[in-house]
Amino acid sequence: MKASNALWKERLAGKIDEALAKEVDTFEMEIELRKQGKVDEKVFAETRLRRGTYGQRYDNGQRHDGTESKKLPFEEKLTKGPMTAWDAPGMQRIKIPYGGLNPEQLEVLADLAEEYSDSIAHITTRQDVQLHFVHIEDTPSVMRRLAAAKITTREACGNSVRNVTGCPFAGVCRDEPFDVTPYARALAMFLLGHPDAQNFGRKFKPAFSGCAQHACGLTAMHDVGYTAVVRTVDGKEERGFCMVVGGGLGSVPYQAKVFEEFLPLNELLPTVQAIAKVFGKHGEKKVRSRARLKFLVADWGLEKFKAEVAAERKKLAPDPRWTSMLPKADLEDETPLKPPGEMPSLGNDERLQHWARTNLREQRQAGYVVATLALPLGDITANQLRDLADIARKFTKGTVRATVEQNLVLRWVSKADVVELYKALSAAKLAAPGASNIQDIVACPGTDTCKLGISSSRGLAAELRGRLVAKGTALDRAIQDLHIKISGCFNSCGQHHISDIGFYGVSRTVSGFRVPHFQVILGGQWEENAGSYGLPIIAIPSKRIPDAVERITAHYLKHRQPDERFTKYVRRVGKGPIRELLEPLTKDLPDPAKDATLFSDWGDPRQYSIGDIGKGECAGEVVSAYEFATTEAERMVFAAQLKLDAGDAQKAGEEAYAAMKMAAKALVQLQYDDVTDDAQEVADEFKERFYDTKVFFDPFAGGKFADYYFAAHEKRGQKFTAEFAKYTIEEAQLFIEAVHSCYNKLRTEGIGTKP
């Protein structure tokens, strides 16, 4: 803990917006009360989460060193939440609405990263900044210093309105009808701490985009998404938004649905307020896994949801801020520092040419470009942040934004300055080419710092990035243009569903040992604001993923039709042949005693939880039966996907349910050989043995995945629409993963007796 915390409080007194200062004082007091045992740990956990103060891996005081789980000798008994040691370092998330940053804010972030964290600021896929390894008692100082730079961490986590994201090119993009920035800002300010947005069962994520065709805003995967549109009424142009609701990635991704084709500007704030009220009143509160808005919209259907929102809207007492917070029409949000210019000659410098081709984007305003700083894994050092602040001041009026691809962009660069800018960025080691290309990999924190991580998303990303950067421009342009996104688990923080090639972490047991794997997801669409989601193909050992990428890209190059995009190629070729291509990578794993490479994860020399594997009571033949049955269940999920691709939603849905039943039965059979194939019996036995006893429960997700199975079981006779079948397939895949986890746990703790 810092010795200077009291000094900062004194020094910044009167220099922070009063409301922000009060909030931080209150939080500091809550910390004190918790230390005195006067606040319950669960209440304190939600309190700190709402201020962006998150837990981090190992904060339960346990760490596996590859052979056994060991206790970390934290000093005190005090906790900052259930199973969360007080002293354990945590993550501080910092909300940056629409990613907008100025040089003074960059400098503050630099100082905080250096003094309270590990000298790294991490840009997230939702345009936040995260600092890791921060002590809870330092967080009030962090918040005060941020508040002095007009940044708040309020509602950066917890069941609240999260960062309002927005297209980083808003205001300078050629394809937008108008700049969404001031509206994103208005919505963020309006909802921050709004009394109608305090009673959610889960988080609520809004996003803005300037156009429908590009990916910058990713509106389709948000709880509420706004795309700028203009219509003409009586010869007069009117601005508004196409508003969508009920989207979200998470374990099972949902595409948002159009709520209003044209929402007039003056309805922006009252409508979101009404939605917040409906979500607060009717959204699920008890079952966390069903508590996002997407489930309410899906359960009710869009029409009922719209009717409820309309009814709520009518009841709202008029609020002058609905209009006063909106910008004056045509007010320029940003202006340039330098006059527009012509693009200079780039000479023979190949790296500069490569950078100019991949990292510069023409602005709508002639003579200006936006430069993208491709940050490796979204990381930037404190020194680089300061250098960037200087560069932003020298070339622009400090117009910087974070992007959903974990990069930063510098807007309003005069074309005449491009070469000078490149030199300045190079000196700061910020001129890596390949922005938004295959090497610009997006990855969530994964096992590095996230408590839920299963496989090392950042380790894999670093490895792939290293290999792809080395190949550089030698890669075919069609390959360079692909996107790779990686999540450490099914929760999708790395947005693997909306990538050409996506991965999420899973684990498998091979010959009695756990092996880190990644599920391969192909065919997601990044464009059109995350226009469609990819589906799982096959799980492959982590260390063989680079080979998988080689195989997939080589096949694409060889078999693509002229100018065929990857998503279309996957659809045309079909998932079956691609699975066949990758299947050999799942076979012939070496004996770990002779070659342990596959049994540890990227960047982590520890044997991958090998110490968890004990001798269970299971007989060899039962294990074989289990492995056989779950392999078959995985094949069935895949077959269900193929059926869906072929347009047979009914068969696809039925097959996905059958796969769940097969996996559930595999677990039941470990304890009860005589279970029949009867669907009701399998469900009942599964419930009694694994659900009611909580044996199947995940420490974080609880019984969520079993709920998927039970819901599919209940609905098994119903008609499957394409959408319903798709969700059932996703849920079947996740249920099978959970069966694998449960099986691993059973092997460690003992299978239990057979009645």
Tokens of 380: 């930037």
Verify binding: residue 63, other proteins, rule CB under 8 A.
Answer: yes
Alpha helices in 192-301 (DSSP H): 268-282, 293-300
Total binding residues toward other proteins, as defined by CB under 8 A: 50
Q: Which stretch binds ligand SF4 (CB under 6 A): 450-458, 578-586, 629-637, 647-655?
A: 450-458
Which residue has 């190059």 as its token pair? 557
Closer residue to ligand SF4 in complex, CB, 125/381 = 125
Minimum CB distance to ligand SF4, residue 717 (Å): 34
Instruction: Report yes or no: 227 and 189 within 8 Å, Cβ to Cβ.
Output: no
What x-and-dash track marks residues 435-464 binding other proteins by CB under 8 A?
-------------xx---------x--x--
Alpha helices in 368-520 (DSSP H): 382-395, 418-427, 457-471, 477-480
Q: From the list 25, 39, 41, 66, which residue makes contact with other proteins (rule: CB under 8 A)? A: 66
Total binding residues toward ligand SF4, as defined by CB under 6 A: 14
Q: From the list 472, 546, 603, 611, which residue makes contact with other proteins (rule: CB under 8 A)? A: 603
Closer residue to other proteins in complex, CB, 600/728 = 600
Q: From the list 217, 445, 592, 616, which residue makes contact with ligand SF4 (rule: CB under 6 A)? A: 445
Tokens of 226: 């706004």
Verify binding: residue 471, other proteins, rule CB under 8 A.
Answer: no
Closer residue to ligand SF4 in complex, CB, 182/446 = 446
120 contacts which partner out of other proteins, ligand SF4, none, CB within 5 to 8 A by kind?
A: other proteins
- The residues near 372 (Cβ < 8 Å, ≥ 6 apart) are 358, 359, 360, 361, 403, 407, 408, 409, 435, 436
Nearest CA to 452 among 285, 694, 698?
698
Instruction: Report yes or no: 127 and 99 within 8 Å, Cβ to Cβ.
Output: yes
111 contacts which partner out of ligand SF4, other proteins, none, CB within 5 to 8 A by kind?
A: other proteins
73 contacts which partner out of other proteins, ligand SF4, none, CB within 5 to 8 A by kind?
A: other proteins
- Helices 649-671 and 620-645: crossing angle, nearest 10°? 170
Q: Which stretch binds other proteins (CB under 8 A): 66-74, 351-359, 391-399, 415-423?
A: 66-74
DSSP letters spanning 165-177: EE-TTTTT-SS-S
Minimum CB distance to other proteins, residue 583 (Å): 30
Tokens of 754: 């057979």
Q: From the list 82, 195, 264, 466, which residue makes contact with other proteins (rule: CB under 8 A)? A: 466
Beta bridge partners of 702: 698
Instruction: Report yes or no: 499 and 483 within 8 Å, Cβ to Cβ.
Output: yes
Instruction: Report yes or no: 371 and 400 within 8 Å, Cβ to Cβ.
Output: no
How far, in Å, CA of 328 to CA of 323, rounded?
10
**Distances in whole angstroms, Cα of residue 663 to Cα of each of 262, 548, 683, 706:** 46, 26, 11, 11
Verify binding: residue 493, ligand SF4, rule CB under 6 A.
Answer: yes
Closer residue to other proteins in complex, CB, 6/287 = 6
Minimum CB distance to ligand SF4, residue 491 (Å): 4
Verify binding: residue 110, other proteins, rule CB under 8 A.
Answer: yes
Instruction: Report yes or no: 638 and 537 within 8 Å, Cβ to Cβ.
Output: yes
- Helices 382-395 and 103-116: crossing angle, nearest 10°? 170
Q: From the list 444, 506, 618, 649, which residue makes contact with ligand SF4 (rule: CB under 6 A)? A: 444
How far, in Å, CA of 265 to CA of 245, rounded?
17
Question: Which strands make up the sheet holding 129-134, listed edge to edge?
Answer: 53-54, 90-94, 129-134, 120-123, 379-381
Q: From the list 131, 207, 377, 450, which residue makes contact with ligand SF4 (rule: CB under 6 A)? A: 450
Instruction: Report yes or no: 157 and 50 within 8 Å, Cβ to Cβ.
Output: yes
Q: From the list 19, 72, 307, 619, which residue makes contact with other proteins (rule: CB under 8 A)? A: 72
- The residues near 6 (Cβ < 8 Å, ≥ 6 apart) are none
- Helices 566-573 and 575-582: crossing angle, nearest 10°? 90
- The residues near 609 (Cβ < 8 Å, ≥ 6 apart) are 64, 66, 507, 514
Q: From the list 386, 411, 483, 704, which residue makes contact with other proteins (rule: CB under 8 A)? A: 386
Closer residue to other proteins in complex, CB, 101/224 = 101
Residue list 494-513, contact with ligand SF4 (CB under 6 A)? 494
Q: From the list 158, 182, 336, 446, which residue makes contact with ligand SF4 (rule: CB under 6 A)? A: 446
Verify binding: residue 429, other proteins, rule CB under 8 A.
Answer: yes
Minimum CB distance to ligand SF4, residue 700 (Å): 8
246 contacts which partner out of ligand SF4, other proteins, none, CB within 5 to 8 A by kind?
A: none
445 contacts which partner out of ligand SF4, other proteins, none, CB within 5 to 8 A by kind?
A: ligand SF4
Q: How many CB atoms lie within 10 A of CB 253?
A: 25
Verify binding: residue 14, other proteins, rule CB under 8 A.
Answer: no
Verify binding: residue 484, ligand SF4, rule CB under 6 A.
Answer: no
Closer residue to ligand SF4 in complex, CB, 399/733 = 733
Q: Which stretch binds ligand SF4 (CB under 6 A): 18-26, 443-451, 475-483, 516-524?
A: 443-451
Q: Which stretch binds other proteins (CB under 8 A): 22-30, 61-69, 336-344, 531-539?
A: 61-69
What x-and-dash track marks residues 402-441 binding ligand SF4 by CB under 6 A?
----------------------------------------
How far, in Å, CA of 518 to CA of 524, rounded?
16
- The residues near 578 (Cβ < 8 Å, ≥ 6 apart) are 522, 537, 552, 555, 570
Verify binding: residue 3, other proteins, rule CB under 8 A.
Answer: yes
Verify binding: residue 89, other proteins, rule CB under 8 A.
Answer: yes
Interface with ligand SF4 by CB under 6 A: which residues?
Answer: 444-446, 450, 452-453, 457, 487-489, 491-494
Interface with other proteins by CB under 8 A: which residues?
Answer: 1-4, 7-8, 11, 57-58, 63, 65-66, 70, 72-75, 87-89, 107, 110-111, 114-115, 118-120, 132-133, 135, 376-377, 379-381, 383-384, 386, 429, 448-449, 459, 462, 465-466, 603-606
